[in-house]
Structure 1
Amino acid sequence: MSPKRPLPVVVIVGRPNVGKSTLFNRLVGRRLALVDDQPGVTRDRREAEASLLGLDFKVIDTAGFETEAEPTLPGRMRAQTQAAVRAADVALFLIDGRAGLTPLDREIADWLRGLDTPILVAANKAEGRAGEAGRLEAYELGLGDPFALSAEHGEGIVDLFDGLREYLEKDRDAAQEDPEAGPEGPELEHVEVDPDGEEVVVETLGPLKLAIVGRPNAGKSTLVNQMIGEERMITGPEAGITRDAIHLDWAWQGREVQLVDTAGLRKKAKVDDRLEKMSSVDTKRAIDRAEVVCLLLDATRGLEAQDLRIADQVLQEGRALVIGLNKWDVADNPSALYNGIRGALDEGLAQVKGVPLIAVSAKTGKGIDQLMQAAFELRDKWASRVPTGLLNRWFDDAIDAHPPPAPKGIRIKLRYITQAKSRPPAFVLFGTRVDKLPTSYHRYLINSLRRDMDLGPIPIRLITRAPKNPFHRK
C-alpha cells in the first residue's frame, strides 16, 4: 500500500482579531481553534485537514501578525507565522472589511509581496455589504483582486473556492495521475486464532495518539520541539504560552505518532480568566481523544497535588498514562527525587500501580526514546483483547483462589465473564446478587486480571450484570 500523498497547504495570515481562527474552524468543519473577542488568542500555529466544495487541503491558522522585536513573545509568534507562510502553497491574507486597512495591514502586505508564496486577499466580517468599502480599499495593497468574506456566517465561500482552486487543483490532478497512488487507509481489523482454536478479532493499530499534559511551565512545548526536531511550538520563560491543543504528525523510529501539545492545567480555584478556562476545556478534550497521555512533571518542583489530580483525571477518562520527569539534567539529588516521586505516585494512584515514570530532558532529548517505547507498549496493552478461553480459565482460578463473600449468609454467585471492548479493556461479570459485591472484591479481580493477563498499568473497567428475574414485578 503506497503512502498517503501530502495535501496542499493553505495558511491564513493577518493582524490580530480579523477572524483567522473563525475561518479556520469553518474550513475544518468543527471548532478546533479557540475563538474569543479579545485579540491575540492564537499563539502557536494550528493545522488540520479541510475540504471546500470538493477541494481537499491542509489549512494552518496562525497567530496575529505583530511587529515587536523577535525576543519578545509577539516577536516569536510572528516568526512562527513567517515560517508557515513561506512553506505554504498559498497564503490567504485576511483583513477586517468593516475596519478597513490599518498601518499594520499595509506592513504585512509589504512583507508578503517579497515572498514566492501566492497570496489571496479577503475582506472578512463583510456580512451583506458591510465590508464592501474595506474590500475596495484593499486594492491599494497590490496583491490582486480582493474578495468579500464572512467567516462567521459562511458568506463568500464560493469566491474563496474560486481563488484557491487554481493552486489546489494542481496537486489534486497530480495525485489522480500518480500511478503509485493506491487506496488509502489501513485495514482496521483482522482475525487471528488463539491457542484454544477460537477466532479473535484483532485491531490493526494506527498512529499512536499521544497527548502531552501538565502544569504550566513544565516544559511541554520544549519537549514537543525536541521530539520533532524543529522549533514548531513557541517556548519561553512566560508561563501559559500554549493556549490551544496543537496536533502534530510525527514519526518515531518509523512508527507514526499523532502528537498533541496542550495548555498547562492549573488548579480550578486559581482559574478565573475566561480564556484560560477555554484552554483548560481544550486540553481536557485532547485527553479524551488520546490513547496515551504523557503527564510531564517539573523535576525542580517535584510532585505536587495538581499533578496527582491531572493523573487521576487521565485514568478516570480511561486513557493509558506515562509520566515524564522533565528537567532531570538540572535537578538536585536526582536519585532521591526519583524514588520519592515513585513512592508518592504508587500511593496517590492506588487504582493503577506501577505507572511508568521516565526521567527526561526536553532540552537535551535524554529519555525521549524510553518515553516513546513505554507509550507504545502501553497502547498495545490498552488496545488488547484477552482470548476467551484464557479469560475463562483465569476466571475459574480467581474464584477458586478467593471465593466471593456471602453477605447476610447468602453467597454471591459469579457465573462467567466476557470482554466487552478494548481501548481500554472492559469486562462484564455476570452473576446473582452482584450488586452486593464489595469494592474490595472488584479491586481483587481487576488486580488479578492486570497481573495474570499481563495488562500492565492501564485502566481496566469491570462491569457487573445480573440476569433478569422473570418473576420480578415491574
Structure 2
Amino acid sequence: MHQTPQVIIIGRPNVGKSTLFNRLVGKRIALVDDQPGVTRDRRFGEAVLLGMEFTAVDTAGWEDEDPGSLPGRMRAQTEVSLKGADIALFVIDARAGVTPLDEEIARWLRGQNVPVVLVANKAEGRAGEPGLLESYSLGFGEPVALSAEHGEGVADLFEALQPLIEKDESGDTHLTPEVNVPVELDEDGEVIENDLSAAPLHLAVVGRPNAGKSTLINRLLEEDRLLTGPEAGITRDSIAVDWEWTDPKSGQLRPVRLVDTAGMRKKARVIDKLERLSVLDAQRSIDYAEVVVLLLDATRGLETQDLKIANLVLEEGRALIIAINKWDVAQEPSSLFNGIRAALEEGLAQLRGVPLIAVSAVTGKGLDNLLNAAFDVREAWSRRIPTSALNRWFDDALSANPPPAPGGKRIKLRYITQNKTRPPSFVVFGTRLDALPKSYERYLMNSIRRDLGFGAVPVRLALRSPKNPYAS
C-alpha cells in the first residue's frame, strides 16, 4: 500500500506547531493552549494542502534540558520522529525573532539528511517583519511567512512543499500495513459480521493518571512510541496508532488502531484548563472506540473513580474490558484479583461478568489474552440475531418468567426485534408497557446477554406500545 510523504513539524515550545498541524489536517484534533509544552507525544494526521496530500506529524517542543527530565525525554521523542520523515517544517515565532534555541535546532537539522522548509509563524501584520528578516540567518533560504491561526501564507507553504513532495513521490514507494480495510455494510449501515475480522479493531485504553496506559501501548508496539515516565499526567492528547497484532493461536495478522488517552481524575480535582481539555479528548476517544480497556493500577486497587470511568464507557454503549496492570509488582495477587472482581460485581451490577485480566506492561504478561478478549467482545458487540430465532427465545423467556399483572391487568408482550448492533439494541412490542417493572426489563436484558451470546457487553432495550386511536 502506498503511503503519502511524511512531513514533520519541529520547533521550540509555543511557536504554533499544533495550530499549524490542525490547519493542515483541517480539524482541531491537537490540543492548543497559550502555555508552552502542551504537545508531548507525536500525533499523525492526513493532511491536504490545496489538493496536495501528505501525512503531517506534530511533535513536542524542542527544549534544552537534561535528557532524564520530562522535557529532555520529549526532545528525544522528537529526534526519533525525524528518522521516518521525508520533509521537516522548522517553525519559528516571527514576532519573537530568532532565539538561541532556534539556532540550536537549526544546527541539529543541518546535520540530518532531511530537506527543511523554514516557516516563520505568527507573521501577520508588521510585528513579524523583523523576525522574518532575521530568520534568513538560520541558513535554510527564504522562510515561508505564515499565520497558522488565520490561514495566511498557505499558498506560499504549498509552493515550498510541492517540489519536495513531488520529488519524494517520484522516488521509492513506501509500504505500510494494510489497516484501513473497507468493510461491507448491510442495509442498516452496520458492519456485516463476515467482514468484521478484516476491519481494524478500534481499541482505546483509559484509566486514572499513572496507571501505565502509554507503557502498555509501547509494549504492544515493541517500541518507545509514546512518552512515558514516573510523572503522573504525561499524556495529554489522545494518540492513535495503527498496528497489526499476530494472533499466537492462528498466526493471523489482525489490524488494530490503538488509542492512548490522558488520565482521568476526579472532576473536583481537575481545575486546570489544559487538563479539562485532555479529559474531554479522552471522552471523545471513548465515543469513537469499539472496545475500551480500563486500566487499573495493581498497587492501588479499585477506586471509585475507576467505577465512574467504567460507567461512562457503558453509558456510551462501548464494549468494556478491565485490565489490572503492574501485576509483576502486585502484593498478594490472588486476594487482590478476587477483591477487585467482588467489588466490580457490586459496583457494576448492571453488567456483571465484565472480562477482568491481569497484565504487566513491563513484562508483557497477559497482553495476548487482553487482545484475544478485545476481539471476542467486539464480535459479541457487533452480533445480530435473526428475528425468528430471537422470538423463539422470547417465547421461552416469557414462559419461564411471565410478566406481572399489576392491578389484575395483564401486560402483553407480543414480540421483539433487534433494531441495531454496536451496541446491540432491541425493541419489545406489547400493550400496557408503561406498567412493566424495571426489574422485569433487567430480567430480559440479563437473559439476552446470557442466552444469546452477548456476554458482558452493554445491551439496549426499548419498549414500544401501539398508539391508541381513541386516546384523544
Q: TM-score, normalised by structure 1?
A: 0.93
Task: Determine the C-alpha separation between the residues in 1 that align with 2:259 and 2:6.
Answer: 20
2:237 aligned partner, one-letter code: D
Aligned: 1:354 with 2:347: no
Partner residue, 1:103:
100
The residue aligned with 1:367 is: 366
- AA partner of residue 184 (structure 2): L
In structure 1, C-alpha distance between the alignment counterparts of 2:243 and 2:222, rounded to whole Å: 10
Tell whether the 8 Å contact from 1:250 to 1:259 is kept in structure 2 after alignment. Answer: yes
The question of 1:94 aligning with 2:91 is answered yes
Find 1:186's aligned residue among 182, 185, 188: 182
What does 1:162-173 correspond to in 2, within 5 Å?
162-172=159-169
**Per-residue deviation, residues 71-110 of structure 1 (Å, max 9, x unmatched):** 0000000000111123201010111111111111111111
| Deviations 1:370-394, CA, capped at 9 Å, x for gaps | 0000001001111111112111111
Q: Distance in 2 between matches of 1:107 and 1:275?
A: 29
Among all aligned residue pairs of Structure 1 and Structure 2, give the percentage whose two residues are the same amino acid: 64
2:161 maps to amino acid: L
- Show the counterpart of 1:136: 133
User: In 1, distance between residues paired with 2:212 and 2:183?
Assistant: 37
Going from structure 1 to structure 2, the CA distance change for 1:119 and 1:174 (only over 3 Å counts) comes to closer
Answer yes or no: is 1:149 the counterpart of 2:146. yes
Q: Is the 1:324–1:359 Cα contact (8 Å) retained in structure 2?
A: yes
Distance 2:170 2:412 in 1: 65
Shift of the alpha carbon at 1:131?
A: 2.2
The answer to whether residue 260 in structure 2 is matched with residue 265 in structure 1 is no
Report if aligned partners of 2:205, 2:293 keep a CA contact under 8 Å in 1.
Answer: yes
3-state DSSP of counterpart to 2:158: helix
Whether contact under 8 Å (2:323, 2:359) holds in the other structure is yes
What residue in structure 2 maps to residue 437 of structure 1?
Answer: 436
User: Which residue is 1:194 aligned to?
Assistant: none
1:109-128 matches, cutoff 5 A? 109-128=106-125
Distance 2:219 2:361 in 1: 6
Give the distance between the partners of 1:40 and 1:463, measured in 2 at CA: 47
> Which amino acid is the alignment partner of residue 19 of structure 1?
G
Contact 1:219 1:362 in 2 (8 A): yes
Matched, 1:71 2:68: yes
Match of 1:215 among 195, 208, 212: 208
**Pairwise CA RMSD of aligned residues?**
1.8
Aligned partner of 1:391: which letter?
A: L
Alpha-carbon separation, structure 1, partners of 2:346 and 2:273: 34
1:92-134 C-alpha deviation (Å, 9 max, x unpaired): 0111111111111111111111100110001111224542322
Is the Cα–Cα contact under 8 Å of residues 190 and 204 in structure 1 kept in the other structure? no
Alignment length (residue pairs): 457
Q: Secondary structure at the match of 2:384?
A: coil
SS at match of 2:286: helix
Structure 1 residue 172: Cα displacement:
4.7
Residue 43 of structure 1 contacts residue 234 of structure 1 at CA under 8 Å; is this kept in 2?
Answer: yes
Whole-angstrom CA distance in 2 between matches of 1:268 and 1:20: 29
Instruction: Return the TM-score normalized by structure 2.
Output: 0.93
- Distance, in Å, in 2 between the alignment partners of 1:112 and 1:213 is 36
1:226 aligns to what?
Answer: 219
Alignment partner of 1:94: what SS?
Answer: strand
Q: 1:203: how far off?
A: 6.3
> Structure 1 residue 284 and structure 2 residue 280: aligned?
no
Partner of 2:249: none
Matches within 5 A, 1:331-410: 331-410=330-409
- What is the CA–CA distance in structure 2 between the aligned matches of 1:91 and 1:312, rounded to whole Å? 43
Identify the residue that residue 195 of structure 2 maps to in structure 1. 204
For 2:81, the equivalent position in structure 1 comes to 84
Match of 2:250 in 1: none
What is the deviation of 1:47? Answer: 1.1
Contact 1:12 1:20 in 2 (8 A): yes
Contact 1:263-1:283 within 8 A present in 2 as well: yes
Partner of 2:33: 36
Partner of 1:8: 5
Which stretches in structure 2 are left out of the alignment for 5+ residues? 247-252
- The 8 Å contact of residues 87 and 114 in structure 2, kept in 1 or not, is answered as yes
Partner Cα distance (1:431, 1:347) in 2: 32
**Is contact 2:181–2:200 with CA below 8 Å preserved after alignment?**
no
Whole-Å Cα distance in 2 between the matches of residues 152 and 55 of structure 1?
20
> What CA distance in whole angstroms lies between the structure 1 residues aligned with 2:184 and 2:157?
36
* Cα distance between partner residues in 2 of 1:201 and 1:101: 56
Alpha-carbon distance in structure 2 between the residues aligned to 1:443 and 1:457: 14
Alignment correspondent of 1:196: none
Structure 1 residues 106 and 174, CA gap change in structure 2 (3 angstroms): closer
Q: Distance in 1 between matches of 2:434 and 2:166?
A: 61
